[in-house]
Structures are given as structure tokens and as C-alpha cells.
Amino acid sequence: MAVIVVGSINLDLIAQIDRIPGPGETRLAHHLAISPGGKGANQALAARRMGASTTFLGTVGKDAFSRQASALLRQEGVDLTYLDSHPDLVTGLAMIGVDQDGQNAITVADGANRATQETALTHLDRLIKADDWLVIQNEIPLATSDRARWIAHQHGAKVIWDPAPALVDPPRGLWSSDIVIPNQGEAEAILKESVADVRAAKAAARHLMDRGAGAGIVKLGGEGVVWATPHGVFYLPAVSVSVVDTVGAGDVFAGALAARLDRGDLLADAVFWANLAAGLSTTQSGAQPSFPHWESVRQYAYQQGQKEKER
């Protein structure tokens, strides 16, 4: 059993600012941090830290950025045997502004990520097995993500599709992923409907299944998470924490969800742990450095349970 992520890998430049600038506006940052990132790499690290044997398939440039972008993955034991490098494209970069409330705005230069195509798919076809989970997103060519989904299903594996960044008309095949996990804004974009509150999110989760998903999950940030299965629609409030930085929280959710499902959890239990891990990741600055390990997530849940018993 393993989690395999086919996706993007970037180096993040994170600027702390008082507020996100509007069109034509310049704001001075009071702090700049450089951190490894990219939705695919983030999800692979999150899955690994939550206890899953994890392999990452992606592409970097042959530049200094590539070492920084892959450093934490390598350090944490993510299998990078099949990480490809492109001689003519730079490693992907993400420019991230984070305001005083922890909200963010992100611009991504995809660079070598756009070269994640046939080589990665050949590796995937050779690696993936029936009891594995594949995680895909939209920061590499969509044809690659769609083909990866097809390969996984041909081998009997399960697929989680994180439709980010949101696209109005994603390839039809991606809808047949076993679990589709947009956030609120992404759900609105791909479903072309308002997702203004929990009630609307419940409808959206059902509509993800109507499009072909085995289960639909809508992440609501500070409002929690909603998910729909053939057995019903469910809601879980967000974890009550002091938010410092929300960058990467959605990726933590995806990676943690895959990890716990890979470990044999039922979907409801996996959602619980993913929601908790994502919440805890917002209590520290940066993306990958803030991702929690399984032991700390489990310990937090135990401590909160003890507090409830004492009330």
C-alpha cells in the first residue's frame, strides 16, 4: 500500500504583508521567506508525514532551485527516485502574499512542471498497484493528470483529484475520480454555482457526485468541511486554532486524506484526521515546514479529547 502523487513541485517565495494589494497597487512586505512548495510536492510531504509510504512523480529544472524545492521531501523520506529534471526549463516558482489575517494570494510560474508528461506516466504505469492511492491536481498539464487517473483505475487503484487551480471546463475523465476535493472557490468555478455557506456546500458535494465522482468533498476553510457519499451528506466544523498562515492547508488536507485512506481508515475517519492536520498546519508560517506529523496530530486529538472529558 502506498500513496503516489503525480504533480507540481515549486519553490515558494512568501511575502508577509499588511494586506493583499489590489490591481495596480504596490505594498511593502515586512518579511520574506523561501520555502519548498507546489501542490503536488506539498501533498506528497503531507502524506508522508501522516504515515504513508509516499512516492512523488514530477519535474524540476536543472538549476539551484531544484535542490531547495526537493529538500524537505528527500529529508522526510518521500521516494524521489523518479523525479525528472528538464534541461531547458526552470524549476517552478510561486509568489505568495500573506496578509495579517493569514489569508493569501498566489501567483505560480509553472516552469518545468509543464514537462511532467510521458516520462511520469511511464513510471506510474510501472509503479502503481491495486491497493494504492493516486493524488493529482491541476498544476501540471491536465492531459497528464487525466491519463494518470486512467492508468490508476486500470490497475485497480483509487484516485483523489484536487481541482486546483480551478478550471471552468476540466477534462471529463477527471470527474470519474474516486474522490474530488475542491475548496469553496474551486467548487464554484467547476460547478458554475454559488457555494456561499455550509448548506450550499452540501449541495455542491452532491453535485460533484452527479458529475461522476465516487465521493465529493468541499473544503470551507475556517467553516470546516462537507462531504457527500452514496450514504449521505456530512459536515465537520473547522478546528479552533489561532491562524497564522493558511498557505498549503488545502494540500495538507489532500495528503493527509490519502495517507489515512491508505492506512485503511473509513472516509469519515480520514476526513476527521485530514481536517485536523490542515487546521494545525495554519498555526505556523510557510507551507511545507508547517505540515504536521502523524504523532503530533494524534497527540493533539487526544489532548482535546481529555479537555472535553474534564468539562
Q: What is the pLDDT of residue 293?
A: 97
**pLDDT per residue as tens digits for the range 60-85:** 999 999 999 999 999 999 999 999 99
DSSP annotation string for 221-277: GGG-EEEEETTEEEEEPPP----S--TTHHHHHHHHHHHHHHTT--HHHHHHHHHHH
251 is catalytic: yes
CB 103 within 8 A of CB 128: no
pLDDT of residue 182: 97
How far is Cα 134 from Cα 141, in angstroms, rounded to an integer?
Answer: 16
Reported confidence tier of residue 286, pLDDT bands at 50, 70, 90? confident
As a whole-number percent, the residues of the chain with pLDDT over 70 amount to: 98
Q: Out of 25-29, 221-225, 300-304, pick the least confident.
A: 300-304
Identify the pLDDT of residue 133: 98
Architecture of domain 3-21+30-310: 3-Layer(aba) Sandwich (3.40)
Task: Please tell me the predicted confidence (pLDDT) of residue 311.
Answer: 47
Helix (H, G, I), strand (E, B) or coil at 107: strand
Q: Distance (Å, rounded) from C-alpha 71 to C-alpha 287?
A: 13
CA distance linking residue 9 with residue 15, whole number of Å: 19
Condensed to tens digits (0 to 9), the pLDDT of residues 156-166 reads 999 999 999 99
For cell 526552470, name the residue: 90
Predicted confidence at residue 94, as pLDDT, reads 84
Domain ranges of the chain: 3-21+30-310
pTM of the model: 0.91
Q: Which is catalytic among the residues 146, 178, 245, 251?
A: 251
The pLDDT value given to residue 244: 83
Largest CA distance in the chain: 61
Q: pLDDT of 17-30, one tens digit each? A: 999 888 999 999 99
